[in-house]
A and B are shown apart, each in its own frame.
Chain A
Amino acid sequence: MKRFIGFVRKEFYHIYRDKRSLFILFGMPIAQILLFGFAITNEINKVEIAILDHAKDATTIEIIHKMASSKYFSINRYLDAESQVEGVFKQGKIKAVINFEKDFGEKLIKEGQSTIQVIADATDPNTANSITNYIQAIIQQYNQSINNNQAGSSQVFMQTHMAFNPEIKSVFMFVPGVMTIILMLVSAMMTSISITREKELGTMEILLVSPLKPFQVVLGKVVPYILLSIINAIIIVLLSIFIFKMPVQGSLILLGLESVLFIITSLSLGILISTIAETQQTAMMISLMGLMLPVILLSGFIFPISSMPLPLQLISNTIPAKWFIIIIKGIMLKGVGIAFIWKETAILIGMTLFFMGVSIYKYKIRLE
């Protein structure tokens, strides 16, 4: 045990003294979260929209005013007919068209309901989603205000149409994805680099010719990164709660436990990489190409899995990040408990055991 603590202490010296890895460890998560966060919030700042008003009455003008006075939208132009919609989208500047039906105000008073159609340019699905969400919010506010002032219940309904990409379903939430990427990066890449560094510098030779058992060496490498990754996960969650007002609906403890599980999965992948790679450079390339790309492209972080072709959907099942994203989306956004995500959790545990098994099998007790 004393040996082990000595080893872990040495590992911390390495991390603390290597400014580059310190930066990757703590600079990157914060930078990424902030970048993603502000990029998203900036996108819905003064978005240019067009109005197609078939009614042109007091009610529509009031709603248009509300939109124009919010900081989210700026009205670029007024259209006269539906046929113009595609044309403005193709110019690319206008991201959404608000379409008021004929006799909008009259219907609202007489029938108690009328409809707004929001046509969003869904070539950029994330922006399109945000835009409709914000318009929805404005309309809800409006509904509340008319119902408070008058008796009865008049309602403006919103109908959305995602132009060019009507299939889009998933609500893009960047935090689960970024958290997954960062935990993967820190855990898998940093461990594999730090193990291969010992090989490259020749210190592995001395460690092998010592009473330390190979699993103690590996465990000693992994423990510091477990601790650092947990700290990272906490930073990310705190940043998203306090800076981006992201709600965490479910249990924080469950979120924590699942994150630790995913950290261990990534670490076992990192160990596996280090059994294959001989140099730090290769370890880094394998981590980046073999882990980061699939995580970004195939995990459902950016592109919805349901809209992928079948072969890719099957491949995405083998990516641990996919299951972790489902789990944390469930916990953070839907507030579900373990009963709803036990299957994904079990898959992650199974993957971890598999990676560890292969690593132990492949781990070299000698130089070749």
Chain B
Amino acid sequence: MGISLDNISKSYKGFKAIQNISFEVKPGELFGIIGPDGAGKTTLFRILTTLLVADSGTASVAGMDVVKDYIGIRKSVGYMPGKFSLYQDLTVEENLQFFATIFGTTLEENYDLIKDIYEQIEPFKTRRAGKLSGGMKQKLALCCALIHKPKVLFLDEPTTGVDPVSRKEFWDMLKRLQEKEITILVSTPYMDEAALCDRVALMQDGQLLEIDSPKHIVQKYPKAVYEIGAKERHKLIQVLRDFPNLYSVYPFGEFVHYTDKRTDLEIPELENYLKSKGLSEIYIGLTEPTIEDVFMELARK
């Protein structure tokens, strides 16, 4: 009763939005689609939520075909589009009640499902949805998508534009929903959120790069990653790019992540090179690869 896609492709006026996408999401799984803007995540979601018809390939959600049985799917899934799509001129409570009515249920009937989330926005229930903060809006939208106890939940970039604290809360909520046997497909451009999913699909330019659990994905990473810091951060990247044995370098938080062509990099050698180029307060250390490192590596190919 999960989701399955078989060779799904879709293009808009010659532009290939997604190409030959195939994967399975197991029932009860929290599955992440990770990729930058323009990777084709939203197109994929729209095909699965029956809003678009793929040019080729087949897909099914909760055992129903997305084209033939679109009515069945529309009754049994919850969908939260990327753009905030509730009625801004309706209050929190009115929005919830509206979605409860059109799904033929009531707020009380499935209250246990949304209780945790709703309690956080309840103090604002008479406020218009348009006047809520970003995090609150997403919580309300999640409530509305859950109100009819869907079998499968589609969340398209639910944490984009949300502050870090609310993002964390949001993911905690998803973890709790998973315990209630709801299959969740979530997309995000934030690599750090990938680690919170059971499995992830890395996506770029309409193609799948990799599908696996976040743990396996980083384990497969073939190179040692060094994190390097220096007082002159911008110059640091420039200088590293001129280093003859460089394989890749890119900024990562307050450091840069560096990989070497060779497998036996000597840290003092690199340190001396940086010093000779006039950098100070140099820090070099070995670090665990992250999903982002994997993504950058896959995107290179």
Mark A residues whose CB is within 8 Å of B.
Answer: 2-3, 5-7, 9-10, 13-14, 17-18, 201-203, 205-212, 365-368
Say which residue of B79, B87, B89, B101 sits within 8 Å of A205 (CB atoms): B79
A207 to B88, CA, bound (A): 15
Q: Give B47-71 as 1s and 0s: 1 = Cβ < 8 Å from A's Cβ atoms.
A: 0011111000000000000000011
- B52 pairs with A209, CB closer than 8 A: no
- B74 pairs with A208, CB closer than 8 A: yes
- B87 pairs with A14, CB closer than 8 A: yes
Q: A14-B89, A202-B85 are in contact. List 17 more A-B contacts (CB 8 A).
A: A3-B101, A6-B98, A6-B102, A7-B102, A10-B87, A14-B87, A14-B90, A18-B89, A202-B83, A203-B87, A206-B79, A206-B99, A210-B103, A211-B102, A211-B103, A366-B50, A367-B52
- Where chain A touches its partner, the secondary structure class is helix
- B87 pairs with A211, CB closer than 8 A: no
Q: Does B104 contact A (CB under 8 A)?
A: yes
* The 6 residue pairs across chains A and B that have the minimum distance between CB atoms: A6-B101, A202-B85, A209-B79, A367-B51, A202-B83, A211-B75
Q: Which of A17, A365, A366 has the most CB of B within 10 A?
A: A366
Q: Does B86 contact A (CB under 8 A)?
A: yes
- A209 pairs with B51, CB closer than 8 A: yes
CB-based A-B contact count at 8 angstroms:
78
- B85 pairs with A206, CB closer than 8 A: yes
Given A2-B101, A6-B98, A13-B90, the answer on whether A209 and B49 have CB atoms closer than 8 Å is: yes
Some 10 contacts from A to B, beta carbons below 8 A apart, are A13-B90, A18-B89, A201-B87, A206-B81, A208-B74, A211-B74, A366-B51, A366-B53, A367-B46, A367-B52
Q: Does B237 contact A (CB under 8 A)?
A: no
Closest B residue to A2 by beta carbon equals B101
- A209 pairs with B74, CB closer than 8 A: yes
Residues of A within 8 A of B99 (CB): 206, 210
Residues of B within 8 A of A17 (CB): 89
Residues of A within 8 A of B50 (CB): 208-209, 366
- B89 pairs with A201, CB closer than 8 A: no
Closest B residue to A7 by beta carbon equals B102
- A201 pairs with B49, CB closer than 8 A: no
A201 to B130, CA, bound (A): 12
Q: Give B90-114 as 1s and 0s: 1 = Cβ < 8 Å from A's Cβ atoms.
A: 1000100111011110000000000
